[in-house]
Structure 1
Amino acid sequence: MTPTPDTMSPVSRTALSVARVRAYESGRPDPLFVDPYAAEFVAAAGPPTEAPEGTRLSGLAAMLVMSIMLRTRFYDDRLTAAGAEQVVLLAAGLDTRAYRLDWPVGTRVWELDLPPVLAFKEQVLDSAGAAPKCEREALAGDLLDPGWPRRLVEAGFDPQRPTAWLAEGLVVYFDAEQAAGLLTAIGSLSAPGSRLLMERGRDVSRTPHDPTLAHVTELWQGGLGPDTDKWLDAHGWSTRTTSLAEAGDTYGRPLSDGLGRTSGFIEAVRTAAG
Protein backbone atom coordinates (compact mmCIF):
# COMPACT_ATOMS: atom_id res chain seq x y z
CA MET A 1 0.00 0.00 0.00
CA THR A 2 1.30 3.46 -0.89
CA PRO A 3 2.14 5.45 2.27
CA THR A 4 -0.05 8.54 2.73
CA PRO A 5 -0.46 11.16 5.47
CA ASP A 6 -3.84 9.58 6.30
CA THR A 7 -1.97 6.78 8.10
CA MET A 8 -0.19 9.24 10.40
CA SER A 9 -1.31 10.19 13.91
CA PRO A 10 -2.69 13.72 14.49
CA VAL A 11 0.60 14.81 16.06
CA SER A 12 2.60 13.36 13.18
CA ARG A 13 0.45 15.21 10.64
CA THR A 14 1.60 18.52 12.11
CA ALA A 15 4.87 17.81 10.25
CA LEU A 16 2.99 18.66 7.05
CA SER A 17 2.18 22.12 8.37
CA VAL A 18 5.88 22.58 9.11
CA ALA A 19 6.74 21.44 5.58
CA ARG A 20 4.33 24.01 4.13
CA VAL A 21 6.04 26.79 6.07
CA ARG A 22 9.46 25.58 4.96
CA ALA A 23 8.32 25.38 1.35
CA TYR A 24 7.02 28.94 1.56
CA GLU A 25 10.23 30.25 3.11
CA SER A 26 12.36 28.40 0.55
CA GLY A 27 10.54 30.20 -2.25
CA ARG A 28 11.14 33.69 -0.88
CA PRO A 29 13.71 35.90 -2.64
CA ASP A 30 15.69 36.18 0.61
CA PRO A 31 15.16 32.82 2.34
CA LEU A 32 16.62 32.02 5.74
CA PHE A 33 17.17 28.49 4.42
CA VAL A 34 16.33 26.43 1.36
CA ASP A 35 14.64 23.07 1.81
CA PRO A 36 14.31 21.72 -1.74
CA TYR A 37 12.16 18.80 -0.59
CA ALA A 38 9.54 20.63 1.48
CA ALA A 39 7.44 21.39 -1.60
CA GLU A 40 7.68 17.71 -2.60
CA PHE A 41 6.08 16.69 0.71
CA VAL A 42 3.37 19.32 0.30
CA ALA A 43 2.55 18.18 -3.22
CA ALA A 44 2.45 14.52 -2.21
CA ALA A 45 0.16 15.28 0.74
CA GLY A 46 -2.39 17.26 -1.26
CA PRO A 47 -4.17 20.48 -0.22
CA PRO A 48 -4.42 21.26 3.51
CA THR A 49 -7.73 20.63 5.23
CA GLU A 50 -7.22 22.52 8.48
CA ALA A 51 -7.91 26.05 7.19
CA PRO A 52 -9.56 27.47 4.04
CA GLU A 53 -7.24 28.82 1.37
CA GLY A 54 -6.65 32.53 1.83
CA THR A 55 -7.53 32.58 5.53
CA ARG A 56 -5.90 35.56 7.21
CA LEU A 57 -3.35 34.51 9.83
CA SER A 58 -4.22 35.32 13.42
CA GLY A 59 -1.59 36.70 15.77
CA LEU A 60 -0.93 33.20 17.13
CA ALA A 61 -0.71 31.66 13.65
CA ALA A 62 1.68 34.35 12.44
CA MET A 63 3.84 33.78 15.50
CA LEU A 64 3.92 30.01 14.91
CA VAL A 65 4.88 30.50 11.26
CA MET A 66 7.67 32.88 12.24
CA SER A 67 8.81 30.47 14.92
CA ILE A 68 9.10 27.62 12.41
CA MET A 69 11.09 29.79 10.00
CA LEU A 70 13.49 31.05 12.67
CA ARG A 71 13.92 27.75 14.50
CA THR A 72 14.74 25.95 11.26
CA ARG A 73 17.63 28.31 10.55
CA PHE A 74 18.67 28.50 14.22
CA TYR A 75 18.90 24.72 14.55
CA ASP A 76 20.61 24.41 11.16
CA ASP A 77 23.37 26.71 12.36
CA ARG A 78 23.73 25.13 15.80
CA LEU A 79 23.77 21.54 14.54
CA THR A 80 26.45 22.12 11.92
CA ALA A 81 28.54 24.16 14.37
CA ALA A 82 28.31 21.53 17.13
CA GLY A 83 31.08 19.44 15.60
CA ALA A 84 29.51 16.18 16.79
CA GLU A 85 29.93 13.11 14.60
CA GLN A 86 26.69 11.72 16.03
CA VAL A 87 23.43 13.62 15.44
CA VAL A 88 20.03 12.37 16.59
CA LEU A 89 16.82 13.95 15.29
CA LEU A 90 14.01 12.97 17.67
CA ALA A 91 10.54 12.76 16.12
CA ALA A 92 12.26 13.87 12.92
CA GLY A 93 9.04 14.19 10.94
CA LEU A 94 9.75 15.57 7.48
CA ASP A 95 13.11 17.04 8.47
CA THR A 96 15.59 16.88 5.56
CA ARG A 97 18.73 18.17 7.27
CA ALA A 98 20.54 14.94 6.42
CA TYR A 99 20.00 15.84 2.75
CA ARG A 100 20.38 19.60 2.63
CA LEU A 101 23.07 20.59 5.16
CA ASP A 102 26.81 20.34 4.50
CA TRP A 103 27.90 17.92 7.20
CA PRO A 104 31.54 17.27 8.09
CA VAL A 105 32.96 14.02 6.73
CA GLY A 106 32.14 11.15 9.08
CA THR A 107 28.89 12.58 10.44
CA ARG A 108 26.19 10.02 11.14
CA VAL A 109 22.57 11.13 11.54
CA TRP A 110 19.82 9.04 13.12
CA GLU A 111 16.20 10.01 12.46
CA LEU A 112 13.67 8.59 14.91
CA ASP A 113 9.94 8.65 14.25
CA LEU A 114 6.85 6.49 13.88
CA PRO A 115 6.70 4.03 10.95
CA PRO A 116 3.94 5.81 8.93
CA VAL A 117 5.90 9.08 9.00
CA LEU A 118 9.13 7.48 7.85
CA ALA A 119 7.35 5.45 5.16
CA PHE A 120 5.74 8.57 3.64
CA LYS A 121 9.01 10.47 3.91
CA GLU A 122 11.06 7.74 2.25
CA GLN A 123 8.59 7.43 -0.61
CA VAL A 124 8.71 11.16 -1.37
CA LEU A 125 12.48 11.45 -1.05
CA ASP A 126 13.06 8.37 -3.20
CA SER A 127 10.74 9.76 -5.87
CA ALA A 128 12.70 13.03 -5.79
CA GLY A 129 16.01 11.19 -6.20
CA ALA A 130 17.29 12.66 -2.93
CA ALA A 131 20.67 11.52 -1.62
CA PRO A 132 21.86 12.22 1.95
CA LYS A 133 25.03 14.25 2.55
CA CYS A 134 26.01 12.12 5.54
CA GLU A 135 25.55 8.59 6.81
CA ARG A 136 21.83 8.46 7.60
CA GLU A 137 19.86 5.92 9.61
CA ALA A 138 16.05 6.05 9.78
CA LEU A 139 14.90 4.27 12.92
CA ALA A 140 11.20 3.55 13.34
CA GLY A 141 9.90 3.68 16.88
CA ASP A 142 7.85 5.49 19.52
CA LEU A 143 9.64 7.86 21.89
CA LEU A 144 7.07 6.96 24.56
CA ASP A 145 8.32 3.37 24.37
CA PRO A 146 11.04 2.94 27.02
CA GLY A 147 12.92 0.63 24.65
CA TRP A 148 13.93 3.32 22.13
CA PRO A 149 17.36 4.06 23.72
CA ARG A 150 18.32 0.38 23.48
CA ARG A 151 17.23 0.24 19.85
CA LEU A 152 19.26 3.35 19.07
CA VAL A 153 22.38 1.76 20.55
CA GLU A 154 21.68 -1.44 18.61
CA ALA A 155 21.57 0.70 15.45
CA GLY A 156 25.18 1.77 16.04
CA PHE A 157 24.82 4.78 18.32
CA ASP A 158 27.69 5.13 20.81
CA PRO A 159 26.65 6.77 24.13
CA GLN A 160 30.32 7.27 25.03
CA ARG A 161 30.78 9.82 22.25
CA PRO A 162 29.44 13.41 22.26
CA THR A 163 26.15 13.77 20.41
CA ALA A 164 24.06 16.62 19.04
CA TRP A 165 20.38 16.01 19.85
CA LEU A 166 17.47 17.87 18.27
CA ALA A 167 13.96 17.78 19.77
CA GLU A 168 12.30 20.24 17.42
CA GLY A 169 8.62 20.97 17.95
CA LEU A 170 8.32 17.86 20.10
CA VAL A 171 8.14 18.21 23.87
CA VAL A 172 5.07 20.50 23.88
CA TYR A 173 3.06 17.42 22.80
CA PHE A 174 4.16 15.50 25.95
CA ASP A 175 2.84 15.89 29.48
CA ALA A 176 5.30 16.70 32.27
CA GLU A 177 5.96 13.07 33.20
CA GLN A 178 6.52 12.04 29.59
CA ALA A 179 8.80 15.03 28.96
CA ALA A 180 10.88 14.29 32.05
CA GLY A 181 11.16 10.65 30.97
CA LEU A 182 12.33 11.62 27.49
CA LEU A 183 14.90 14.11 28.74
CA THR A 184 16.14 11.62 31.35
CA ALA A 185 16.65 9.03 28.60
CA ILE A 186 18.53 11.56 26.47
CA GLY A 187 20.75 12.39 29.44
CA SER A 188 21.53 8.73 30.03
CA LEU A 189 22.81 8.47 26.44
CA SER A 190 24.78 11.73 26.45
CA ALA A 191 28.51 11.87 27.04
CA PRO A 192 29.89 15.12 28.50
CA GLY A 193 30.02 17.77 25.79
CA SER A 194 26.86 16.52 24.10
CA ARG A 195 24.37 19.20 23.03
CA LEU A 196 20.59 19.30 23.13
CA LEU A 197 18.52 21.76 21.11
CA MET A 198 14.82 22.31 21.77
CA GLU A 199 12.20 25.01 22.23
CA ARG A 200 11.72 26.87 25.47
CA GLY A 201 8.72 25.51 27.37
CA ARG A 202 5.37 27.26 27.17
CA ASP A 203 2.41 27.59 29.49
CA VAL A 204 -0.21 26.04 27.23
CA SER A 205 -3.01 27.15 29.55
CA ARG A 206 -2.38 30.69 28.29
CA THR A 207 -2.55 29.82 24.60
CA PRO A 208 -4.98 32.16 22.79
CA HIS A 209 -8.01 30.45 21.31
CA ASP A 210 -7.91 30.18 17.52
CA PRO A 211 -10.31 27.65 15.92
CA THR A 212 -8.18 27.50 12.76
CA LEU A 213 -5.29 26.15 14.88
CA ALA A 214 -7.28 23.79 17.07
CA HIS A 215 -5.93 20.77 15.15
CA VAL A 216 -2.52 21.71 16.61
CA THR A 217 -3.10 23.54 19.90
CA GLU A 218 -5.55 20.97 21.25
CA LEU A 219 -2.74 18.43 21.03
CA TRP A 220 -0.39 20.51 23.19
CA GLN A 221 0.22 19.20 26.71
CA GLY A 222 3.00 21.61 27.66
CA GLY A 223 5.85 19.30 28.60
CA LEU A 224 7.80 20.79 31.52
CA GLY A 225 6.50 24.27 30.75
CA PRO A 226 8.43 27.51 31.18
CA ASP A 227 10.85 25.88 33.66
CA THR A 228 12.29 23.40 31.16
CA ASP A 229 15.69 25.07 31.24
CA LYS A 230 15.74 24.94 35.05
CA TRP A 231 14.94 21.22 34.95
CA LEU A 232 17.82 20.62 32.55
CA ASP A 233 20.21 22.68 34.68
CA ALA A 234 19.29 20.49 37.66
CA HIS A 235 19.84 17.26 35.73
CA GLY A 236 23.37 17.46 34.37
CA TRP A 237 23.05 20.11 31.67
CA SER A 238 24.12 23.74 31.35
CA THR A 239 21.56 25.77 29.40
CA ARG A 240 21.48 28.94 27.39
CA THR A 241 18.26 30.42 26.04
CA THR A 242 17.67 32.57 22.97
CA SER A 243 14.34 34.32 22.64
CA LEU A 244 12.44 34.28 19.37
CA ALA A 245 12.87 38.06 19.22
CA GLU A 246 16.65 37.74 19.57
CA ALA A 247 16.74 35.14 16.81
CA GLY A 248 14.62 37.42 14.62
CA ASP A 249 17.06 40.28 15.11
CA THR A 250 20.03 38.01 14.35
CA TYR A 251 18.54 36.78 11.09
CA GLY A 252 17.11 40.07 9.89
CA ARG A 253 13.49 39.19 10.63
CA PRO A 254 12.68 41.49 13.57
CA LEU A 255 9.44 40.88 15.41
CA SER A 256 7.02 43.56 16.54
CA ASP A 257 7.74 45.11 19.92
CA GLY A 258 6.90 42.80 22.78
CA LEU A 259 6.48 39.70 20.62
CA GLY A 260 8.70 36.67 20.92
CA ARG A 261 10.24 37.59 24.26
CA THR A 262 8.98 34.56 26.18
CA SER A 263 9.20 31.95 23.42
CA GLY A 264 12.45 30.80 21.88
CA PHE A 265 15.11 28.12 22.03
CA ILE A 266 17.25 26.20 24.52
CA GLU A 267 20.83 25.11 23.88
CA ALA A 268 21.96 22.68 26.55
CA VAL A 269 25.46 21.26 26.98
CA ARG A 270 25.93 18.04 28.92
CA THR A 271 28.21 18.61 31.90
CA ALA A 272 27.74 15.30 33.74
CA ALA A 273 28.25 11.72 32.64
CA GLY A 274 25.05 9.97 31.60
Structure 2
Amino acid sequence: MRTDGDSWDINTGVGSTALFVAAARALAGRAADAPAHDPLAEIFVRAAGPEWVDLLEGRVPGHPLLTPDFGMQFQQHQIARTRYFDDFLNAAAATGIRQVVILAAGLDARAYRLPWPDGTVVYELDRPQVLEFKRETLTEAGHKPRAQRHEVPVDLREDWPNALCENGFDPSLPSAWLVEGLLIYLPPAAQDQLFDAIDALSAPGSRIAIEQMDPLPEAAATAMADSDGGSDWVRLIYNEPRSEATAWFGARGWTGERVYLTDYLQELGRPLADGVQQQSLINLVTVVRP
Protein backbone atom coordinates (compact mmCIF):
# COMPACT_ATOMS: atom_id res chain seq x y z
CA MET A 1 0.00 0.00 0.00
CA ARG A 2 0.99 3.64 -0.46
CA THR A 3 2.43 5.87 2.27
CA ASP A 4 1.81 9.61 2.46
CA GLY A 5 5.49 10.59 2.37
CA ASP A 6 6.80 8.31 -0.34
CA SER A 7 8.94 9.61 -3.21
CA TRP A 8 9.17 8.44 -6.81
CA ASP A 9 10.35 9.26 -10.31
CA ILE A 10 9.85 7.88 -13.81
CA ASN A 11 11.57 4.57 -13.04
CA THR A 12 10.37 3.76 -9.52
CA GLY A 13 7.18 3.40 -7.48
CA VAL A 14 4.14 5.20 -8.82
CA GLY A 15 6.33 6.85 -11.45
CA SER A 16 7.01 3.47 -13.00
CA THR A 17 3.28 2.98 -13.49
CA ALA A 18 3.50 5.68 -16.19
CA LEU A 19 5.71 3.33 -18.22
CA PHE A 20 3.50 0.35 -17.42
CA VAL A 21 0.44 2.27 -18.63
CA ALA A 22 2.23 3.52 -21.74
CA ALA A 23 3.27 -0.04 -22.56
CA ALA A 24 -0.34 -1.19 -22.17
CA ARG A 25 -1.51 1.58 -24.55
CA ALA A 26 1.18 0.67 -27.06
CA LEU A 27 0.31 -3.02 -27.03
CA ALA A 28 -3.46 -2.59 -27.04
CA GLY A 29 -3.35 0.05 -29.75
CA ARG A 30 -1.60 -2.17 -32.27
CA ALA A 31 -4.83 -3.77 -33.47
CA ALA A 32 -6.30 -2.03 -36.49
CA ASP A 33 -9.73 -1.98 -34.85
CA ALA A 34 -8.52 -0.78 -31.43
CA PRO A 35 -10.77 1.88 -29.83
CA ALA A 36 -7.84 4.32 -29.80
CA HIS A 37 -4.27 4.57 -31.05
CA ASP A 38 -1.38 6.31 -29.29
CA PRO A 39 1.70 5.88 -31.49
CA LEU A 40 3.81 8.00 -29.13
CA ALA A 41 3.38 5.52 -26.28
CA GLU A 42 5.77 3.08 -27.94
CA ILE A 43 8.40 5.82 -28.21
CA PHE A 44 8.37 6.28 -24.43
CA VAL A 45 8.52 2.56 -23.76
CA ARG A 46 11.47 1.98 -26.09
CA ALA A 47 13.34 4.90 -24.52
CA ALA A 48 12.91 3.50 -21.02
CA GLY A 49 15.33 0.61 -21.33
CA PRO A 50 16.02 -2.77 -22.93
CA GLU A 51 13.61 -4.68 -20.69
CA TRP A 52 10.74 -2.56 -22.04
CA VAL A 53 11.95 -3.05 -25.62
CA ASP A 54 11.94 -6.80 -25.01
CA LEU A 55 8.29 -6.55 -23.97
CA LEU A 56 7.33 -4.74 -27.16
CA GLU A 57 9.30 -7.19 -29.28
CA GLY A 58 7.56 -10.21 -27.73
CA ARG A 59 10.61 -11.59 -25.98
CA VAL A 60 9.02 -11.80 -22.50
CA PRO A 61 5.81 -13.81 -22.94
CA GLY A 62 5.40 -14.11 -19.16
CA HIS A 63 5.31 -10.35 -18.59
CA PRO A 64 2.43 -9.19 -16.33
CA LEU A 65 0.95 -7.12 -19.19
CA LEU A 66 0.52 -10.28 -21.24
CA THR A 67 -1.08 -12.54 -18.63
CA PRO A 68 -4.72 -13.54 -19.16
CA ASP A 69 -5.77 -12.95 -15.54
CA PHE A 70 -4.54 -9.35 -15.32
CA GLY A 71 -2.57 -8.08 -18.29
CA MET A 72 -5.12 -8.46 -21.06
CA GLN A 73 -7.80 -6.77 -18.98
CA PHE A 74 -5.37 -4.00 -18.10
CA GLN A 75 -4.54 -3.42 -21.76
CA GLN A 76 -8.23 -3.24 -22.61
CA HIS A 77 -8.85 -0.84 -19.72
CA GLN A 78 -6.08 1.52 -20.82
CA ILE A 79 -7.02 1.74 -24.49
CA ALA A 80 -10.72 2.22 -23.68
CA ARG A 81 -10.09 5.04 -21.26
CA THR A 82 -7.73 6.60 -23.81
CA ARG A 83 -10.65 6.73 -26.23
CA TYR A 84 -12.96 8.20 -23.57
CA PHE A 85 -10.59 11.01 -22.60
CA ASP A 86 -9.59 11.74 -26.20
CA ASP A 87 -13.26 12.17 -27.07
CA PHE A 88 -13.78 14.35 -24.00
CA LEU A 89 -11.00 16.75 -24.97
CA ASN A 90 -12.07 16.92 -28.60
CA ALA A 91 -15.61 17.75 -27.48
CA ALA A 92 -14.35 20.39 -25.03
CA ALA A 93 -12.33 22.05 -27.80
CA ALA A 94 -15.42 22.02 -30.03
CA THR A 95 -17.27 24.10 -27.40
CA GLY A 96 -14.55 26.77 -27.55
CA ILE A 97 -12.49 25.79 -24.50
CA ARG A 98 -8.86 26.67 -25.10
CA GLN A 99 -7.41 25.97 -21.65
CA VAL A 100 -6.67 22.34 -20.71
CA VAL A 101 -5.19 21.01 -17.46
CA ILE A 102 -3.85 17.46 -17.19
CA LEU A 103 -3.23 16.48 -13.57
CA ALA A 104 -0.54 13.85 -12.89
CA ALA A 105 0.16 13.95 -16.62
CA GLY A 106 2.64 11.09 -16.59
CA LEU A 107 3.39 10.05 -20.16
CA ASP A 108 0.19 11.56 -21.55
CA ALA A 109 1.16 12.87 -25.01
CA ARG A 110 -2.15 14.45 -25.97
CA ALA A 111 -0.51 17.87 -26.31
CA TYR A 112 1.51 16.29 -29.13
CA ARG A 113 -1.03 14.09 -30.87
CA LEU A 114 -4.55 15.60 -30.70
CA PRO A 115 -5.70 18.12 -33.37
CA TRP A 116 -5.87 21.18 -31.13
CA PRO A 117 -7.50 24.41 -32.38
CA ASP A 118 -5.27 27.47 -32.60
CA GLY A 119 -4.78 29.18 -29.26
CA THR A 120 -5.15 26.07 -27.12
CA VAL A 121 -2.90 25.93 -24.05
CA VAL A 122 -2.25 22.58 -22.36
CA TYR A 123 -0.92 22.60 -18.80
CA GLU A 124 0.74 19.37 -17.68
CA LEU A 125 1.28 18.88 -13.96
CA ASP A 126 3.64 16.20 -12.68
CA ARG A 127 6.97 15.59 -11.02
CA PRO A 128 9.85 17.29 -12.89
CA GLN A 129 11.57 13.97 -13.66
CA VAL A 130 8.51 12.71 -15.50
CA LEU A 131 7.98 15.89 -17.51
CA GLU A 132 11.66 16.05 -18.43
CA PHE A 133 11.69 12.44 -19.62
CA LYS A 134 8.62 13.06 -21.77
CA ARG A 135 9.89 16.29 -23.32
CA GLU A 136 13.38 15.01 -24.06
CA THR A 137 12.17 11.69 -25.46
CA LEU A 138 9.66 13.24 -27.86
CA THR A 139 12.03 16.02 -28.89
CA GLU A 140 14.71 13.48 -29.73
CA ALA A 141 12.14 11.56 -31.79
CA GLY A 142 11.29 14.73 -33.74
CA HIS A 143 7.85 15.46 -32.26
CA LYS A 144 6.58 18.92 -31.37
CA PRO A 145 3.47 19.91 -29.39
CA ARG A 146 0.39 20.78 -31.44
CA ALA A 147 -0.77 23.20 -28.73
CA GLN A 148 1.00 25.62 -26.43
CA ARG A 149 2.37 23.20 -23.86
CA HIS A 150 3.21 24.46 -20.38
CA GLU A 151 5.04 22.16 -18.01
CA VAL A 152 4.12 22.68 -14.35
CA PRO A 153 6.70 20.69 -12.37
CA VAL A 154 4.96 20.14 -9.05
CA ASP A 155 3.99 17.33 -6.72
CA LEU A 156 0.22 17.29 -6.24
CA ARG A 157 0.89 17.02 -2.51
CA GLU A 158 2.26 20.58 -2.74
CA ASP A 159 0.55 23.90 -3.60
CA TRP A 160 -0.17 22.95 -7.18
CA PRO A 161 -3.00 25.51 -7.74
CA ASN A 162 -0.56 28.36 -7.12
CA ALA A 163 2.06 26.74 -9.35
CA LEU A 164 -0.54 26.34 -12.10
CA CYS A 165 -1.58 29.99 -11.95
CA GLU A 166 2.04 31.14 -11.86
CA ASN A 167 2.53 29.30 -15.16
CA GLY A 168 -0.21 31.26 -16.89
CA PHE A 169 -3.47 29.48 -16.06
CA ASP A 170 -6.40 31.93 -15.97
CA PRO A 171 -9.20 30.84 -13.58
CA SER A 172 -11.57 33.38 -15.14
CA LEU A 173 -11.65 31.38 -18.39
CA PRO A 174 -13.44 28.05 -18.91
CA SER A 175 -11.14 25.09 -18.77
CA ALA A 176 -11.10 21.34 -19.40
CA TRP A 177 -9.60 19.16 -16.69
CA LEU A 178 -8.29 15.62 -17.04
CA VAL A 179 -8.14 13.43 -13.92
CA GLU A 180 -7.07 10.12 -15.45
CA GLY A 181 -5.44 7.28 -13.55
CA LEU A 182 -4.93 9.42 -10.45
CA LEU A 183 -7.61 9.12 -7.78
CA ILE A 184 -6.84 5.57 -6.62
CA TYR A 185 -3.31 6.70 -5.77
CA LEU A 186 -4.64 9.39 -3.40
CA PRO A 187 -6.05 8.96 0.11
CA PRO A 188 -9.77 9.84 0.24
CA ALA A 189 -9.13 13.15 2.06
CA ALA A 190 -6.55 14.17 -0.56
CA GLN A 191 -9.06 13.40 -3.30
CA ASP A 192 -11.59 15.77 -1.73
CA GLN A 193 -8.91 18.46 -1.46
CA LEU A 194 -8.12 17.96 -5.14
CA PHE A 195 -11.80 18.32 -6.04
CA ASP A 196 -12.04 21.47 -3.91
CA ALA A 197 -9.11 23.02 -5.75
CA ILE A 198 -10.48 22.18 -9.20
CA ASP A 199 -13.89 23.54 -8.24
CA ALA A 200 -12.34 26.81 -7.01
CA LEU A 201 -10.31 27.26 -10.22
CA SER A 202 -13.12 26.45 -12.68
CA ALA A 203 -15.04 29.24 -14.40
CA PRO A 204 -18.57 28.71 -15.79
CA GLY A 205 -18.43 26.51 -18.88
CA SER A 206 -15.61 24.40 -17.49
CA ARG A 207 -15.74 20.63 -17.66
CA ILE A 208 -13.90 17.75 -16.01
CA ALA A 209 -13.29 14.15 -17.06
CA ILE A 210 -12.51 11.78 -14.20
CA GLU A 211 -11.60 8.12 -13.84
CA GLN A 212 -12.58 6.58 -10.53
CA MET A 213 -12.84 3.09 -9.10
CA ASP A 214 -15.10 1.53 -6.50
CA PRO A 215 -13.15 -0.13 -3.65
CA LEU A 216 -12.05 -3.66 -4.40
CA PRO A 217 -14.04 -6.21 -2.37
CA GLU A 218 -11.86 -8.37 -0.17
CA ALA A 219 -12.23 -11.42 -2.42
CA ALA A 220 -11.30 -9.41 -5.53
CA ALA A 221 -8.34 -7.77 -3.77
CA THR A 222 -7.08 -11.19 -2.72
CA ALA A 223 -7.49 -12.59 -6.23
CA MET A 224 -5.66 -9.63 -7.73
CA ALA A 225 -2.89 -9.80 -5.12
CA ASP A 226 -2.35 -13.42 -6.18
CA SER A 227 -2.40 -12.65 -9.90
CA ASP A 228 0.62 -12.01 -12.10
CA GLY A 229 1.05 -8.25 -12.29
CA GLY A 230 -1.98 -7.35 -10.21
CA SER A 231 -0.13 -7.77 -6.93
CA ASP A 232 2.21 -4.84 -7.65
CA TRP A 233 -0.71 -2.61 -8.63
CA VAL A 234 -2.74 -3.44 -5.51
CA ARG A 235 0.17 -2.38 -3.30
CA LEU A 236 0.24 1.08 -4.89
CA ILE A 237 -3.41 2.07 -4.44
CA TYR A 238 -5.53 3.36 -1.58
CA ASN A 239 -8.35 0.83 -1.59
CA GLU A 240 -10.73 2.79 0.64
CA PRO A 241 -14.26 4.23 0.32
CA ARG A 242 -14.22 7.78 -1.02
CA SER A 243 -16.43 10.49 -2.47
CA GLU A 244 -18.13 9.62 -5.75
CA ALA A 245 -17.21 12.34 -8.26
CA THR A 246 -20.59 12.77 -9.95
CA ALA A 247 -22.33 13.26 -6.60
CA TRP A 248 -19.56 15.47 -5.16
CA PHE A 249 -19.61 17.92 -8.07
CA GLY A 250 -23.38 17.63 -8.47
CA ALA A 251 -23.82 18.92 -4.93
CA ARG A 252 -21.87 22.01 -6.00
CA GLY A 253 -23.94 22.85 -9.07
CA TRP A 254 -22.17 20.80 -11.74
CA THR A 255 -24.09 18.46 -14.02
CA GLY A 256 -22.63 15.15 -15.04
CA GLU A 257 -22.87 11.52 -15.96
CA ARG A 258 -20.81 8.41 -15.44
CA VAL A 259 -20.44 5.09 -17.18
CA TYR A 260 -18.86 1.90 -15.90
CA LEU A 261 -15.99 0.65 -17.99
CA THR A 262 -17.74 -2.64 -18.74
CA ASP A 263 -20.73 -0.75 -20.17
CA TYR A 264 -18.46 1.62 -22.08
CA LEU A 265 -16.63 -1.32 -23.65
CA GLN A 266 -19.96 -2.71 -24.77
CA GLU A 267 -20.84 0.69 -26.28
CA LEU A 268 -17.60 0.44 -28.24
CA GLY A 269 -18.49 -3.07 -29.35
CA ARG A 270 -15.59 -4.65 -27.46
CA PRO A 271 -15.89 -8.08 -25.79
CA LEU A 272 -14.72 -8.19 -22.18
CA ALA A 273 -11.36 -9.83 -21.49
CA ASP A 274 -11.28 -12.85 -19.20
CA GLY A 275 -9.76 -12.79 -15.72
CA VAL A 276 -10.19 -10.81 -12.52
CA GLN A 277 -12.91 -8.30 -13.33
CA GLN A 278 -11.32 -5.07 -12.11
CA GLN A 279 -13.07 -3.48 -15.09
CA SER A 280 -16.45 -3.86 -13.39
CA LEU A 281 -15.36 -1.41 -10.66
CA ILE A 282 -13.89 1.30 -12.88
CA ASN A 283 -16.11 4.13 -14.04
CA LEU A 284 -15.61 7.22 -16.17
CA VAL A 285 -17.18 10.57 -15.33
CA THR A 286 -17.76 13.84 -17.14
CA VAL A 287 -19.09 16.87 -15.26
CA VAL A 288 -19.85 20.35 -16.61
CA ARG A 289 -20.20 23.66 -14.76
CA PRO A 290 -23.16 25.63 -16.25
TM-score range, shorter chain: 0.7 to 0.9
Report the CA distance shift for 1:124/1:256 in structure 2 as closer, same or farther (over 3 A): closer
State how 1:35-184 maps to structure 2 within 5 Å. 35-46=38-49, 47-48=51-52, 53-55=60-62, 57-83=67-93, 84-145=97-158, 147-184=159-196
More deviation, 87-96/227-236:
227-236
Give yes or no for contact 1:238–1:268 (8 Å, CA) kept in 2.
yes
For residues 180-217 of structure 1, the C-alpha deviation after alignment (integer angstroms, 9 at most, x for no partner) is 11111111101122111111332045433225222222
Structure 2, unpaired ranges of 5+:
1-7
Task: State the Cα distance separating 1:60 from its structure 2 match.
Answer: 3.8
Task: State the Cα distance separating 1:261 from its structure 2 match.
Answer: 4.3
Structure 2 counterpart of 1:38, which letter?
Answer: A
State how 1:204-219 maps to structure 2 within 5 Å. 204-206=216-218, 207=221, 208-209=224-225, 210-219=227-236
Give yes or no for contact 2:212–2:282 (8 Å, CA) kept in 1.
yes
Report the CA distance shift for 1:65/1:162 in structure 2 as closer, same or farther (over 3 A): same
C-alpha distance in 1 between matches for 2:18 and 2:193: 23
More deviation, 245-254/169-178:
245-254
C-alpha distance in 2 between matches for 1:223 and 1:115: 29
Task: State whether structure 2 residue 238 is matched by structure 1 residue 235.
Answer: no
TM-score, normalised to structure 2, is: 0.83
Task: State the Cα distance separating 1:34 from its structure 2 match.
Answer: 2.4
Structure 1, unpaired ranges of 5+:
none
Structure 2 counterpart of 1:62, which letter?
Answer: M
Give yes or no for contact 1:175–1:221 (8 Å, CA) kept in 2.
yes
TM-score, normalised to structure 1, is: 0.88
Look up the match of 1:266.
Answer: 285
Task: State whether structure 2 residue 24 is matched by structure 1 residue 33.
Answer: no
Give yes or no for contact 1:93–1:117 (8 Å, CA) kept in 2.
yes
Look up the match of 2:3.
Answer: none
Count of aligned pairs: 265
Percent identity, aligned pairs only, is 38
- Name the structure, 1 or 2, with higher relative contact order (CA <8 Å, separation 6+): 2
CA RMSD of aligned residues (A): 2.5
C-alpha distance in 2 between matches for 1:9 and 1:233: 36
